Structures are given as C-alpha cells and as structure tokens.
Structure 1
C-alpha cells in the first residue's frame, strides 16, 4: 500500500454553510463542481472564496476543492 502526497502546497480545505436560503462555500485551492458523482468534476469559472451559490444553481450539485 502506498500513500500519495503532494509537496506543492497546503492541502485544500472546504466548508459549506447554509443560512436561510443562501449557501456559501469557503475553500482553499480551486473550487470544482459536478452534478453527480459519476460525472467528472470541473473548475468553477471565476470562483473565489467565499463562493455564494446562486439561487439559479441546480438543486443537487457536488463541490470539492483541489
């Protein structure tokens, strides 16, 4: 068994908060999203932390930081 590590920088972190109808993603690194777990994740264009998820976003969306 081997463990892959990166020496290129800190490990990305992500947290999501939900206040009222507003959802906010706070992260380090690059934010990525996918409509489901079978579709590859893609960078969210122009995203900066904290990232507010718009009301027009799909009801189900997955996020990660890389």
Structure 2
C-alpha cells in the first residue's frame, strides 16, 4: 500500500490540527480580526473571517462539505 503525507508551513504560531471529531483549538490567540483558513486534501481550502474579543473564548462553527456524485 502507498502512504501519503501532507506538510503545511505557516509563518506564525497559530494553527490547529483536527481531532477525530473534526474539532480543533488555537490557544492564546490575541484579540483581533483574523481569516481562518481550513484545508482538506480532497475538498480544498475554505476561508472564514472571524473576530476574537479580549479575554474571550470563541467557538466558530465552520463546515467544509461537498456533494457526492
């Protein structure tokens, strides 16, 4: 069997890897406006603009989906 691997390089310390349930956490993110970018090897990239308040915990519902043929 063939094996696959993926590497994503970012120029900042704010990233997450999903767990089995598809959720992830980015800790210690400073307050501000951000563009959340999610990538999937078959579904591509999706972006979502978000705002994080000072001392706030944000739960951002985001979904990447596709239609089966």
> TM-score, with normalisation over the residues of structure 2?
0.31
* Larger proportion of strand: 1
Higher relative contact order, chain-length normalized (CA < 8 Å, sep 6+): 1
> TM-score, with normalisation over the residues of structure 1?
0.32
